[in-house]
Amino acid sequence: MKKLAIGCGVLLVLGVVGLILVAIAGGSYNRLVRLQQQVDKQWAQVQNVYQRRADLVPNLVSTVSGAANFEKSTLTEITAARASVGQVKLDPNSAPTDPAKLAEFDKAQSQLSGALSRLLVVAERYPELKATQNFSDLQAQLEGTENRISVERRSFNETVQAYNTAIKSFPANFYAGIFGFKERPYFSATPGAETPPKVQFDFGKPAAPPEAEKK
C-alpha cells in the first residue's frame, strides 16, 4: 500500500512537471508565431514602399522626357532597371527564408536606386523642368518614398533580429525547426545606407553645351 502511494505521488509530480513543460513550450511556440507574423507584416511594408517608388517611375520618366533633348540613354536605363525589379518574384506577405532570393531582390532595387540617382543628376541640366508643377510634385513624393524605404528596411531588420534570436533561444531551439520556424535573412547594410539619398536639384545651372558634354 505504501509503495502504491509512493508510486502515485511520483506520477503526480511527473504529471505536474509535464504540464509545466507543456505550458512553457506552448507559450514559447505562441511567441514564435507572433514574432513570425511581425516579420511578415514588416516585409509587406517594405514591399509596399518599394512598389510606391516603382509606381512613381513612369510619371517621372514621362515628365523629364518632355524636356528638349533629354538624354534617351538615361531614360532607357531607368526603364530597364524598373523592369528588372518586376522580374524578381517574392511573396509580398511572407518574408523570404532564402538569403539568395533576398539578395537578388536587394540587388535589383539597388540598380533602380542608382538609375534614379543618375536620372536626377542629368535632370539638373534642364532648368525648364522647374516650371513643371508635376515634376516638383514627383520630386517631393520620391524624396518621401526614399526616406520611407530607409525606415522600413531598418524596421524589417529589427523584427528579423528579434525573431532569429527567439528561434535560437531555449526552449524554442529544440523544436523551432520541426515546426517550420526558419531563420530569416537580413537586408545587407551598404555604406551610407543609414542616410536616405537626397533628391535635390540645382536649377540655377545652365544646361551644358553639346560640345562640352562630349569632352
Domain ranges of the chain: 2-207
pLDDT tens digit sequence for 37-84: 999 999 999 999 999 999 999 998 888 887 767 788 888 999 999 999
For the domain bounded by 2-207, which CATH number is listed? 1.20.1440.20
pLDDT at 9: 61
Max CA distance (Å), the chain: 109
Establish whether the linkage from the previous residue to 171 is cis, with ω within 30° of 0. yes
pLDDT tens digit sequence for 157-178: 999 999 999 999 988 888 888 8
Higher pLDDT, 118 or 192: 118
**Sign of the torsion angle spanned by Cα atoms 162, 164, 166, 170:** negative
How far apart, in whole angstroms, are the C-alpha atoms of residue 49 and residue 109? 11
Residue 124 near residue 203, CB atoms below 8 Å: yes
Q: What is the pTM of this model?
A: 0.77
**Arithmetic mean of pLDDT, 177-186:** 92
